[in-house]
Amino acid sequence: MATRNIAVIVGSLRKESFTRKVAQSMIELAPASLHLEIVEIRDLPLYNQDDETAHPPAAFTAFRERIAQADAILFCTPEYNRSVSGALKNAIDVGSRPYGKAAYQGKPCAVVSVSPGALGGFGANHHLRQMLPFLDMPCMPAPEAYVGGVADKYDGPRLIDDGTRDFFQTFIDAFAAWVERHAK
């Protein structure tokens, strides 16, 4: 079985965000068949179609190339106002353009949502899932990952909750199988 390259998109810009910690946990727990790497979105300018000229912003081009090279995408999103962050929505817009040349097209994906609240980012998770069919991205239907009460699951960067670790292992193993089934 080939090693699949997975672009991990973290929807929070804060360096010490819980969303980033969850992404790091997924990277650490990934089976040998997956190589996960965070693709940063913090330097992407806001998408503006006027910038789609013969020379789009270098950050757009670099981001699109990183996504195009990936075999699959793991979205890790915080919940902001019952939806995804503006930064994540912008990254989705940048990668989906120019029309007909989306870097995301056909790539299998999965969604992990994170919240200090009890619902685990349910709203963000489902808003993101609403966008994915338009991008022609087969999204892993189960297990769904809503990480609620995330502040109690980490001590600094270290995941301390054994039940969460077990769930993350189940999730990332299921994602590996999903990627293998759908990757081109």
**pLDDT tens for the 184 residues of the chain, in order:** 679 999 999 999 998 999 999 999 999 999 999 999 999 999 999 999 998 888 899 999 999 999 999 999 999 999 999 999 999 999 999 999 988 889 999 999 999 999 998 888 999 999 999 999 999 999 999 999 999 999 999 999 999 999 999 999 999 999 999 999 998 7
Cα(182)–Cα(161) distance, integer angstroms: 31
59: left (phi > 0), else alpha (psi -120 to 50), else beta? Answer: alpha
Domain spans, the chain? 4-173
pTM of the model: 0.96
Cα torsion through 132, 146, 10, 85, rounded to 10? 70
Q: Which helix (H) or strand (E) holds 159?
A: strand 158-159
Q: Looking at the structure, give the CATH architecture of the domain made up of residues 4-173.
A: 3-Layer(aba) Sandwich (3.40)
* DSSP of 83-129: B--HHHHHHHHHHT-STT--TTTT--EEEEEE-SSTTTTHHHHHHHH
Angle (CA) 66-72-75 rounded to 5° is 85
